[in-house]
Amino acid sequence: MSAVLDDMDSRPGSTTSLLRTVIGLYLRDAGGWMSAKDIVTLMEALGTSGTVTRTALGRLRKKDVVLQEARDGVPGFTLTEGAATMLARGDRRIYNPRSMSASDPWCLISFSIPETEREKRHQLRRRLHWIGCGTVAAGLWICPDSLRVEVEEILADLDLRSMATIFVTETPLVGGSLQDAASKWWDLDAVAELHRDFIREHTWVSGNGADIPASSGEAVEPSPEAFAAYVQCIDRWRIIPYLDPGLPSAFLPADWPGAQGTALFSRIVAAYAEPSGQFVRSVLQETAGVAVS
């Protein structure tokens, strides 16, 4: 299994995670290649030195996320094919958080894997967890049916499809309440805390040297601060749409913070995505101008 298939292998806020976020946001828009100098410049806006950035780039090379490639004698990096697929999957999750309705179908994954394949069994459970599946029992997992394609991809990648059976079903009939069942199948307290942490950290975001509310109509100017605010927002948010299965309200406590977190994220994207992109384009254009002159 290629390491690039694991979207969650770096802790949000770490240098490697921030670098992955920068690459995911901007390398594809830059034509699929970016010079090492430009990457260092962008990471400096996030408070990371060139030495630390180059070390992190080395880590991403070992994880098959980027390939080193020089163009016109300029050292730079491009994405691997596996990384491009991973980032496209991440885009769908990050910008389109799931929200399941009461009538939507469910997917049950039943598997029995022998002890001789215990490492694959461990990987299967880990990866099912990281796409938002819940554990009904050791060999029985549950998720919204919208995730079935990803479940099939995981089983195929681990060569375990013949050891698993997938059921598509209506709402499970449980002995107690749906909320009690959901709290056993998923660690909803941990997911709720992720949302609350995000809300606490991003109710106010930095731009133009001053704190402004993401909900205000005030325009944000392109700047290193706007870029840093946006990248850090995406980096903090990116694991939440994976771990939050987007359960129907009947499965959730009354004070569930998911809708508030999602709305805040959407406001920040609306305010900061374009100014951040403009800052990145200005950095790339400045380098291109120096190269031509």
DSSP the chain: --GGG-TT-S-TTSHHHHHHHHHHHHTTTTTSEEEHHHHHHHHHTTT--HHHHHHHHHHHHHTTSEEE--BTTB-EEEE-HHHHHHHHHHHHHHHS-----TTS-EEEEEE---GGGHHHHHHHHHHHHHTT-EEEETTEEEEEGGGHHHHHHHHHHTT-GGGEEEEEESS---SS-HHHHHHHHS-HHHHHHHHHHHHHHHSEEEETTEEEETTS-PPPPPSHHHHHHHHHHHHHHTTHHHH-----GGGS-TT--HHHHHHHHHHHHHHHHHHHHHHHHHHHHHHHHHHH-
Q: Give the global pTM.
A: 0.86
Q: What is the mean pLDDT of each run of 10 residues along the chain (293 residues)?
A: 48 91 94 96 97 96 94 94 88 88 96 95 96 96 95 96 97 95 97 96 59 59 94 94 93 95 93 96 79 41
